[in-house]
Structure 1
């Protein structure tokens, strides 16, 4: 159960905020060039920039640090929008506040460490500044919420989350796998919390950013943080995932912003009817699953009586192959069908194992 008690939810920047700027501040000219481009684009609601860069391995560019902060003050004056930077320790917070930075964000490598998060929280005691918290590198919802709670406990009331995806060494598509369901679970836990999507870190490739950003907005996320550089090919860090200003503006023109329905009385009648039909089908699905698992219990009793092993590889492979093919014929993806069948099979194995071990099978609980 979450303990967040907000007075002023969100960053106060309106719907569908666009946060743009370079992965890393490199030169004053780089920042001036971006300002020249952004001055003509009113959709940019906040300027982001990395000045302390936590790198995976030593020897990579780790940011200019305090040297870059005066240049960000110039951005505020020229564009008249808030400026945000990443902080990873108390010394960063002190420097950022001294130079009038408007918003802080906590990066994924920091969120994963409660000691580091608490150090930042303690340094913000009594400070009224918005803070955005990126998800931890690993898919751990409790860590994400915990970092938000630590900020809130010291009096930070303007909070937002940044969804930047999760490390997955087996995923070959994304730099950081989006795990949309986990971001949506955060929204269920904290429905008033703004969630900003970071398609740059999820995609890892500039050509994928539009698709990731559009999907995030389709899920009802509240804004986008997109890394933008005057000349991405020459960027000192994360060159592959940065857009130039022209590419960014093209995306902002083509993307479709989605409205989220928050209250039942806002639902159009035809949508309500479709949802009621879905509810009816879901009930049938649950009834069918219940019937299937009761048959599984009988199979488990038979295997116990005849000293048969719970796992029967040939049967499982046949079920996986044949049901997947049936699902594909019904316009369902192979990935979905296999995920569904594996989940059902895992539950079936657990129920049979309980029978073999002379344990009572627990009643089905539908969550």
Structure 2
């Protein structure tokens, strides 16, 4: 299987299956000298692990990370960093019947069509547990970005028909409610809506927004490796994400040029934009304004309602999917979006170090 590696100068390769012995990631190209401990990574993994509230799967996993390589005496060495999380709560028997049919909304048929074989235990590489490696890698990247004054904040913008009120935005409550909303009133309504869908043996989707502050102007490439194109690829690679927006997103198709254009002004000693319809990226390159990303996440496809599908031989069958599943994946995917954005941004910033001859000569002329 190809396609498990992401990045250019900074590369991450995730590995492992939902019901295998373990999952993890190898990070190649990460700079030497940054202090790193397992606790730096664990706090991110704890945000995505299952069994933390009534709106997540009851599967209980500690998701404890182990650093296998690339760190010595508490600092990164510049060599590949290998991180591992062991699976401890597999119930593969829950999936034994799935081997004979294709679940609606899943990658089952696509895997069989491509490989002639699939790991039906929880979806194998298509499982949401694959994102463990992404989150672990993103934790490292977010820490280094933080040392440059760059912060990433992802949160749930909406679940089903329930959306946050921008006038009640409070970032301090994002991690204090089970749906990760920055609006306590909306969070309570969203929670009730999720329970309503669960009682109907159904699931629900939603929207995740990520705001990145402190990114300097000039990051990204102008053609195929545009910063927004790279972000879109990174975020669309998350299994449940079906659409990505930057800035005002799809709304720009309804604007006039005079309404959509971000003008420039000089303020506090630097050039800045007067508005931010572009979401901090113009022509594929960062403008210095906040980068605004938005991911539309589909409902969890594994539901307890009866559904019609077919067996491998094409014969029809009505099924009810058992096992342990999230009624909504949005809250646990918030940190995944944040971490994939961190990986993408750090990779682009490392690449940008060679954009000018003066950057290279300045570095080597002042090398210690």
Same fold (TM over 0.5): no
Normalising by structure 1, what TM-score? 0.22
Normalising by structure 2, what TM-score? 0.22
Between Structure 1 and Structure 2, the one with more helix by share is 1
Quick check: which has more Rg, 1 or 2?
Answer: 1
